Amino acid sequence: MTTLESYQMLIDGQWRAASDGGSFASINPFDAKAWAHVPAATSTDVDDAVKAARRAFEDGPWSQSTPLHRATLLRRLGDLIKDNADELARIQILENGKLIREVAGQTNALANHCYFFAGAAEAPLGETLATSVPNMQAFTVREPIGVVAAITPWNSPLALLLWKLCPALAAGNTVVIKPSEVTPVSTLVLARLFHEAGFPDGVVNVVTGAGPVGAELSAHPGVDKIAFTGSTAVGKKIAATAAERLARVSLELGGKSPNIVFPDADLPVAVRGVISGIFAATGQTCMAGSRVLVHTDIYDEFVQALAERTRQIKLGNPLDPETEMGTVACQAQYDKVLSYIEVAKSEGARLVTGGSRPEDPDLADGLFVQPTVFSDVTNDMRIAREEVFGPVAVVIRFADEDDAVSIANDTAFGLAAGVWTRDIARAHRMIRRLRAGTVWINNYRKTNHVAPFGGFKESGIGRENGIHAIEEYTETKTAWIDTGNAIADPFNPRA
């Protein structure tokens, strides 16, 4: 490991190794080679980071920062992200195998999150209340919660971090970040920009390591709010931990989202949309449209068209702009995806295309799984109910609109849904009837910094993006002012 690139954690404005010297390797999923090593944080490191954030929140200059000051720093951070976007994109690709054609645009768009929440920092966040009490003025103010633990996943490490970091900082909180152990380097490279932008020491801290580090951070009594993106199983554990001390949480969790195709849809467009919904990012997105619900009248035609286009998807080097699908991010996830393919076969689903490693010898070292389509799937199968988080689409028949809604909503999740139809009345009905936090009509997988994102049911708690996100990082305080001897004698009701 001495020949690998070496990175350190950021705690209280200082770059540090782990207190016990421990580290772990970052593996490139395209060639299976280690390319960097990163500190494995200890309990001492986590405690130091939380205490640094607490000092910055309560005693440091951040505690007295004005909305204008926070907005200025966020705008500077946005400018620096734009200046360093190529490097930030390259590092993410080395870590998780996402495509340059996707990551480049996504990374450049991160600056827009900074600019949007810079504006939100200066937006009015209180209200005057029309009370029924004479000679009393009442109003509300929003104040930061305190120290925020931001625990982020490996599939879009910087985008999903900025979804948390920007509103948290705009509201006046301090932050301790714990990135996934699969993708820690991109967060550490981004952290170099905090000091350059002018954020005071301790306002933003980064600790790196595996699951136990995140558990330590979630359980730390100095953490006031936990913002987590990841699996529903881990999210439930975090919620239970937070409940012991009534810490605030926002959880963006798993999904098994339906992509519903009606007979009146533009079928070539719908096929392209379904392809994008499940095979973009190698299916490793919480919003992946992994359940493809197709009306029985067009089922066979659609499955054939979907399979033909799926077979044409070009796998290859994620840094090649011509590549259409990259690798699975890590060995554990690769093994999980292949195991679910075997589960689908054992359940009686029909393998239409894919289902194994590609045969191309140029891809032999990478964690590649062929884009896979199963048909003849019913909604009670495990492959239709459990989140695979990989390039596996299951196609399910439905008979009519009511049947589509019933199948779509018959899931523990409720993150997203797509609908493909030319019938505008049906589109509006489906938006109302689908139990999902986002519904796309004749498109899929679109997000933006102005649009709130989050799930129903076991897909999470709270919303990220949009002005709603500020509410997730603030507490509401009500103030009452006596403007004219409004207090009566409590022992003389006529007074």
CA dist list (Å): 106 to 98, 239, 339:
11, 29, 30
The single-letter code of the amino acid at 302 is: F
> Both 246 and 302 in a single domain?
no
Residue 484's pLDDT is what?
A: 85
> Is 373 part of any domain?
yes
Better-predicted residue by pLDDT, 347 or 125: 347
Sequence-distant (≥ 6) Cβ neighbours of residue 20 within 8 angstroms: 42
In the numeric block, which tokens belong to residue 357? 């490693």
Residue 132 within any structural domain of the chain? yes
Amino acid identity of 378? T
490 in any annotated domain: no
The single residue of 95, 252, 458, 472 carrying the catalytic annotation is: 252
Note the pLDDT tens digit of each residue in 69-98.
Answer: 999 999 999 999 999 999 999 999 999 999
pLDDT band at 370 (very low <50, low <70, confident <90, very high): very high
Identify whether residues 102 and 16 lie together within a single domain. Answer: yes
pLDDT of 491 above 90: no
293, β-bridge pairs = 260, 396
- Residue 349, Cβ density class (10 Å: 0-12 exposed, 13-18 middle, ≥19 buried): buried
Decide if pLDDT at 488 tops 70. Answer: no
Judge if 248 and 262 occupy the same domain.
Answer: no
CATH code assigned at 298: 3.40.309.10
Any domain includes 217: yes
pLDDT of residue 486: 57
CATH code for the domain in which residue 78 is found = 3.40.605.10
Domain of residue 50: give its range: 5-253+455-479
- 367 in the same domain as 234: no
Identity at 466, one-letter amino acid code: G
Residues 413 and 314 in one domain: yes
Would you state the pLDDT for residue 215? 97
In this predicted model, what pLDDT tens digit does every residue of 455-486 receive, in sequence order? Answer: 999 999 999 999 999 999 999 999 999 998 75
Residue 174 phi, psi dihedral angles, 5° rounding:
-110, 160
pLDDT(493) > 70: no
What pLDDT, on a 0 to 100 scale, did the predictor assign at position 125?
81
What is the C-alpha radius of gyration for the chain, rounded to an integer number of angstroms? 24
Q: Please check whether residues 30 and 156 belong to one and the same domain.
A: yes
Same-domain pairing of 262 and 129:
no
166 labelled catalytic: no
Per-residue pLDDT averaged across 135-144, rounded? Answer: 94
Confidence of residue 314 (pLDDT cuts 50, 70, 90): very high
327 has pLDDT over 90: yes
Q: Which amino acid is at 189?
A: V
Structural domain includes residue 492? no
Burial classification of residue 403, based on how many CB atoms lie within 10 Å of its CB (0-12 exposed, 13-18 middle, 19 or more buried): middle
What average pLDDT score do residues 376-382 get?
Answer: 98
Domain presence at residue 446? no
99 three-state secondary structure: coil
Kindly list the strands in the beta sheet with 291-295, ordered across the sheet, starting from the edge strand earlier in the chain. Answer: 350-353, 372-375, 392-398, 291-295, 258-261, 416-420, 438-441
* Residue 187 binned pLDDT confidence (cut-offs 50, 70, 90): very high
CA neighbor of 17 nearest in space, from 30, 1, 31, 34: 1
Mean pLDDT, to the nearest integer, of 8-23? 98
pLDDT of residue 60: 85
pLDDT score of 1 = 39
308: annotated active-site residue: no
Considering the domain architecture, whether residues 434 and 466 belong to the same structural domain is answered as no
Structural domain includes residue 346: yes
Instruction: Kindly state whether residues 153 and 235 are assigned to the same domain.
Output: yes
Q: Which residues lie below 8 Å from residue 189, measured CB to CB, with a gap of 6+? A: 7, 84, 87, 88, 91
Same domain, 314 and 296: yes
What average pLDDT is seen over the chain? 96
Please check the confidence at residue 217 and state whether its pLDDT lies above 90. Answer: yes
Give the list of residues 6+ apart from residue 375 with CB closer than 8 angstroms, or none. Answer: 303, 349, 350, 352, 394, 395
Residue 95 in domain:
yes
- Tally of domains in the chain: 2
Do 19 and 73 lie in a common domain? yes
Query: Across residues 167-186, what is the average pLDDT?
Result: 98
Q: Which pLDDT value is given to residue 3?
A: 74
Contact 92, 107 (CB under 8 A): yes
Determine the Cα–Cα distance for residues 483 and 269; give it in Å rounded to an integer: 63
Lookup result for tokens 């782990």: 18
* pLDDT score recorded for residue 2: 46
The answer to whether residues 9 and 55 belong to one domain is yes
Of 114, 166, 286, 330, which is the active-site residue? 286
Predicted pLDDT of residue 124: 81
Looking at residue 4, its pLDDT comes to 86
Q: Are 257 and 276 in contact (CB under 8 A)?
A: no
